[in-house]
Every structure is written in structure tokens, then in C-alpha cells.
Amino acid sequence: MREARRWPGSEWLKDRPRALERIYDWAERLLRLLYPLLNRISPKATERLLIWSEEVGKGYLFNCQMCGQCILHSTGMTCPMNCPKNLRNGPCGGVRRDGHCEVIPERMCVWVQAWERSQAMPRYGHEITLIQPPVDRSLHRTSAWINLLEGIDTQTPPGWGTNHGSS
């Protein structure tokens, strides 16, 4: 994981999850409208533009690790990939009594923050209880927006889910 950064102002913004939730909604609606046209004009340029915008925008605000399967709106607008253990379904058993991280004691647990922020999100807050699938590492450094719009982020990679056990 890249060194977790806290750019000036980013923590203040993340503590406004209700506003961020609205911005996420608008961005998704806008992209659903524009993406087919942009993609028709130039798929490569569209991909480059979206990857760049995610690296810069989400990088600044959420310390995005470019996992390619963004679940920010389901995790209190708090990036779960900032958890040193990359947990996407809640905290480990090592959260300290003061809510800080077991691995990086000077930081709050990502999942404590995710839970608290999700409680302020009227539209998507309940999604924090959804079970998230494992991260598909083959999507690393791809555009999460494109993966969402194309339905790629919900596809099960070949070989996953195959039961090799005997009954």
C-alpha cells in the first residue's frame, strides 16, 4: 500500500460524508450520460482521462489506491484500501480501545471512521452492512468508473467460485 497521506483539507472534507454522497450521486449520473458519447469518440482518451481524474481527485481526497472496484459510497466515503490489511468487510479484531488501528497506532481505524461516516449518509449509509467480494487484483490501476459503468467490477473472474472440494 502507498504511504497513507492526509492532504491538507482532505480529512475535513471526508468528515462531510453527506455532501460527498451527493457529489458521488451527481458524478455517477453525469458519467452515465456522458460516458457512451465519450467512449464512442475515443475510448483510449476517455480511459486515460478517467484514470487521471481518479488518481488526482480520489487520490487527494481519499488516498485512493486505484483498486478499480470502488466501494466508497458503501463504506462511509472512506476508502477501505487504506486499511493496512486491505479489509473490505469491516475491521479486524485488533482495533484499539480508543478506535485506533492495530498496525498504525497513530491513525484511527479506517473501519471506525467508515462506520461513523456511513451513519450520516441517508442514501447509501445502509450499504455498509453489505458483504463485499474479494478484491480482483487484475483491476488494479484501471478506472473504477469505467469498471462500474461497464459492469466489470461485479463480474466474477474466471476460476473464482469454482468448488474444487469433494462432497
List interacting residues with ligand SF4 (CB under 6 A): 58, 62, 64-67, 70-72, 79-81, 144
Measured from the CB atom, the residue of 67 and 121 that comes closer to ligand SF4 is 67
Measured from the CB atom, the residue of 128 and 166 that comes closer to ligand SF4 is 128
**What's the closest the beta carbon of residue 70 comes to ligand SF4, in angstroms?**
3
**What's the closest the beta carbon of residue 125 comes to ligand SF4, in angstroms?**
17
Measured from the CB atom, the residue of 82 and 97 that comes closer to ligand SF4 is 82
d(C-alpha 120, C-alpha 29), whole Å = 21
Beta bridge partners of 100: 108
**What's the closest the beta carbon of residue 28 comes to ligand SF4, in angstroms?**
13
Phi, psi dihedrals of residue 53, rounded to the nearest 5°:
-65, -35
**C-alpha cell at position 60:** 487527494
Burial of 95 (0-12, 13-18, 19+ CB in 10 A): middle
Measured from the CB atom, the residue of 125 and 163 that comes closer to ligand SF4 is 125
Measured from the CB atom, the residue of 70 and 166 that comes closer to ligand SF4 is 70
DSSP notation for 30-68: HHHHHHHHHHHH-HHHHHHHHHHHIIIIIHHHH-----S
**What's the closest the beta carbon of residue 41 comes to ligand SF4, in angstroms?**
25
**What's the closest the beta carbon of residue 97 comes to ligand SF4, in angstroms?**
27
29 Cα distance to chain centroid: 18
